[in-house]
Amino acid sequence: MEAATLLASLNPDAPLAHRHLWLMDALRWVRGDGKDVQAAVQRVRAFTDAVQASAVGRTRWRRWWSVFIGTVDITPLLADHGFAPRTAFLSELGNRLRKKVLPGTPETTDMAELFDLLLPTRFDVRWLKALDSDTLKRLRATLTDDEAPAANGPPRVDAFWDKALMDALIFCVSQISATGFASEIRIRMSAEAQAQRSFHQLPSDFEALRRAVDAHGARSPQSMAAAETLRERLDACRQAAYTVYSHLEEHGVSVGIVFRLRQLRERIVRVKELLDCLQSEQRERAAAALLADLAQVGLDRRSIRALIASSSHLTAAKVAERSAESGEHYITRDADEYRAMLRKAAGGGAIIGLTTWVKFLLAGLGLTAFWGGFANGLNYATSFVVIMLLHMTVATKQPAVTAPAMVAKLRDIRQPGAVRRFVDEVANLFRSQIASIVGNIGLVIPVVVLISAGLLLARGEAMISPEKARHVLRDIHLLGPTMLFAAFTGVLLFASSIVAGWVENWYVFHNLDSAVKHNPRFTALLGHVRAARWADFLRRNISGLAANISLGFMLGLVPAFAVFFGLPLDVRHVTLSAGQVTAAAMALGWEVLREPALWWAVAGVLAIGPINLGVSFYLAFRLALRAQNISEINRQLIRAAIRRRIRAAPLSFLFPPKKPAAPEEDTPAPPDTGPTGHG
């Protein structure tokens, strides 16, 4: 299609939807194949040439523009495009989901809604930024007879644009003030930030700018000075809002508050962009740059993943940090701690042996899928909680909390020795996991053997029937779906650590520790001393309780829900599986030692452990790396350091050192270029 043909199809008197559809077609023509930016710029020039070459076309184009700006409200585009209609995370999540599912309509007077239909691709951002000053001036000249300011005031295009910018500034400044005065933000600011009263003075600074613009013009010295004062006030508001992050890091994180703070920061940036556009000497170029930024914002706002990542980053960091605090207890660093871990794991294995017996008892009740899963979940959760309270351990639960503890060593990765200390933690963790698995399996097997032998002596029957025993061996066969189920169990292990971190963060954020200790209802019921003990107990154990209870019920209920949806998913936990294979062998007697099915099941158990550990550790490790903002360059440096340790001292990953290791040479990490701060 030629520019003249496009201009000839323009009808200023067409209905609203058809006028906007013509504009969409025009921009699609400019876009072309979406590959050549300069070709798009040339098409814009061709259109301006066609308008200027025809008096009829010029009149039609200007009439269309007059109707367009008279019916479409451009202020929401400038002030609100890219921001949530309500400053709430869930509201914005729902809004983005709606935009992905429901189509937009060109029959609208809201330019913010129409804008996404007009410029829907990232190529639009590129060609808008590529428009040169001469092309922009020629395009502006097609809209007005006055190519330079008239003696009695600005031309019509400038008047329209200045009014839209001032209205957008009013809306944005009002939103910034409202956010700064919101109770959940205000009470979390530092005392110094509250004393400065930056948000109190922001409206008066903007009012001074508005009066200067009305009296002297947008680019007068008075307006320039007022705008500079407003920028300084906006910076002060931004610094005041940043003090909220310190409160969140100390007292717990809220995704909703983080989302509101990010919206506040972006509003401040938008106000500065509008001010630059209002007072720029190159009006056309500033307007094109602003439209390109708005198009980019519109594209970014469609991403649900980006919304969740940006708003939950601080929460993820806090969850990783709280997991790191728990994980420190599960890493052994010398021979004494290694032996202590073996004892704790052996105790955990003994209790899992009893758990295995209870699991088979519950299976004999013939419960429905849901209630059977619930009963199994209660059995697992109870066992895990008892193990925790007795200060024992279950091997597969450790990686999800030890990985963040390891990555915490990289918090100051640019400091000398940071990478070496991290590699030390890798070796320490590997040894700890071996001790845990050996201790768990080393005692779960004899406990199940003793229970089965006792049942045989007491009632002449083993823990399970021979038919059930063969079914167990088939289920845990190495060549069956065991590996897939073991990996899925690793995901559940990681998920339990996320639940634990989130619950602890929620507990701290709502100050429940103080509530339990001092609330009159609790103290009246428990007494002051007992309430204080409960508060101390919950503060120390809320994360562990959440992790163990959630893991137990996920192991029991997730397979039941999977069956409901027709998904053949099950869980394979190394210690539980070892106990089940032992029970099956006891039920089948000595002859089972000659059957390949037993040894395939034993091989399955030996493979389940590393997969449980590997998947949960990998997921937790990735989360912790993102939380600590470790760049790809430093990740490569870490991998190289681990490979060097494996070549130089492979046994350090298996046995604890007899004495502290001598310091090694450590390559300083380069400056981390990944994203930092709170955005």
Are the C-beta atoms of 3 and 53 separated by less than 8 Å?
A: no
Which of 237-251, 419-433, 659-673 has maximum average pLDDT? 237-251
% of the chain surpassing 90 pLDDT: 43
Write the DSSP string, 244-309.
Answer: HHHHHHHH---HHHHHHHHHHHHHHHHHHHHHHHHH-SSHHHHHHHHHHHHHHHHHHHT-HHHHHH
Mean pLDDT, to the nearest integer, of 326-330? Answer: 54
- Secondary structure (3-state) at 229: helix
pLDDT at 100: 77
Mean pLDDT, to the nearest integer, of 561-575? Answer: 87
The residue among 172, 136, 143 whose CA lies nearest residue 159 is 143
The domain segmentation of the chain, as residue ranges, is 1-71+119-148, 75-101+152-302, 315-653
**AA identity, residue 677:** G
Phi, psi angles (nearest 5°) of residue 392: -100, -170
Q: Which CATH architecture has domain 315-653?
A: Up-down Bundle (1.20)
Higher pLDDT, 639 or 473: 473
pLDDT at 457: 87
pLDDT band at 675 (very low <50, low <70, confident <90, very high): very low
Q: Could you identify the residue written with the tokens 């909220």? A: 244
pLDDT at 381: 93
pLDDT band at 38 (very low <50, low <70, confident <90, very high): very high
HEC string of 13-76 equals CCCHHHHHHHHHHHHHHHHCCCCCHHHHHHHHHHHHHHHHHCHHHHHHHHHHHHHHHHHCECHH
Q: What is the pLDDT of residues 253-269, one digit of tens each?
A: 777 788 888 889 999 99
- Residues 6+ away with beta carbon under 8 Å from 9: 22, 25
**AA identity, residue 150:** A
% of the chain surpassing 70 pLDDT: 85
pLDDT at 155: 45
Which DSSP symbol is given to 328?
A: G
Phi, psi angles (nearest 5°) of residue 110: -95, 110
CA-to-CA distance for 62 and 143, rounded, in angstroms?
6
Q: Mean pLDDT in the chain?
A: 84
Whether 525 has a pLDDT exceeding 60, the answer reads yes
Q: What is the pLDDT of residues 111-127, one digit of tens each?
A: 988 998 999 999 999 99
CB atoms within 10 A of CB 638: 20
Phi, psi angles (nearest 5°) of residue 150: -75, 165
pLDDT band at 153 (very low <50, low <70, confident <90, very high): very low
* Beta bridge partner(s), residue 153: 150
CA distances in angstroms from 86 to 89, 165, 284, 603, listed in the order given: 8, 22, 32, 56
pLDDT at 431: 77
Are the C-beta atoms of 582 and 443 separated by less than 8 Å?
A: no
Tokens of 347: 């105790």
pTM score over 0.85: no
Write the DSSP string, 635-652.
Answer: HHHHHHHHHHHHHH-GGG
The residue among 362, 388, 608 whose CA lies nearest residue 477 is 608
pLDDT at 83: 84
CB atoms within 10 A of CB 98: 9
